[in-house]
Chain A
Amino acid sequence: QVHLQESGPGLVKASETLSLICTVSGYSISSGYYWGWMRQPPGKGLEWIGNLYHTGVTYCNPSLKSRVTISVDTSKNQFSLKLSSVTAADTAVYYCARVTAAYTAQFDYWGQGTLVSVSS
């Protein structure tokens, strides 16, 4: 069974960089599929952040692209998200998930999510 788990600080100061890691178990990232990040502000809807392939190819939401870095560590079966220059608007539950391809919008396995709050 594929399992994903997000980890990282729950509190980040405004203007600093948010950093999260997604650890995958039950499936090797190097075996294929894409891997994605989404977020959900409290009481609001889902927003796609970006997708990653194990080769390092990434695709990002144009509205966040200038601040987002997504990378992979296949040796640890992990992928990560960095979001720079955060503001209160970046406060959200952040999810990682597996997606069948870069164009399918088919996220079949999700992590439980982790709340990141941005303090002023």
Chain B
Amino acid sequence: QSALTQPPSASGSPGQSVTISCTGTSSDVGGYNYVSWYQQHPGKAPKLMIYEVTKRPSGVPDRFSGSKSGYSASLTVSGLQAEDEADYYCSSYAGDYTLVFGGGTKLTVL
């Protein structure tokens, strides 16, 4: 069971859109529609932003959206705001009732 692959960093200016990728295998991301995304500000607990690839929990702005193609999932943040600057982690079901996280992406709002 290997960690999902995310780019270490991503950036964008206020108002722009940025997309963060999460690449796995046929045993995790590619095999199931159970991919979640979490936002984590420094010193805080992660917060669920997307689940089941595309669904947003109540209270999460619709600027956040998720998608999946093949073995890769993506999180897109549109209309970037200063408060979106944080670390983002993807997570996926990996079969046999196990879960795996990505290595995390640090999003910087320029």
> Which residue numbers of A lie inside 8 Å of B, CB to CB?
36, 38, 45-48, 51, 59-63, 95, 100, 102-108, 110-113
Report yes or no: A62 in contact with B46, Cβ–Cβ below 8 A.
Answer: no
Report the nearest B residue to A46, measured CB to CB: B101
Please report the number of residue pairs spanning A and B whose Cβ atoms sit closer than 8 angstroms. 73
Give the size range of B's interface with the partner. 20 to 34
B97 touches A104 (CB 8 A): no
B35–A103 CB distance below 8 A: no
B45 close to A (CB within 8 Å): yes
A111 to B46, CA, bound (A): 9
User: Can you spell out 6 A-B residue pairs with CB atoms less than 8 angstroms apart?
Assistant: A45-B101, A46-B89, A95-B46, A104-B36, A105-B51, A110-B46
Distance A51 CA – B101 CA, assembled complex (angstroms)? 14
Select from chain A the residue with minimum beta-carbon distance to B97.
A59
Asked whether B23 is an interface residue with its Cβ less than 8 Å from the other chain, the reply is no
Interface-central residue, B92, B97, B99, by most chain A CB under 10 Å:
B99
Query: When the two chains form their complex, are residues B91 and A48 in contact, meaning their CB atoms are under 8 A apart?
Result: yes
Residues of A within 8 A of B100 (CB): 48
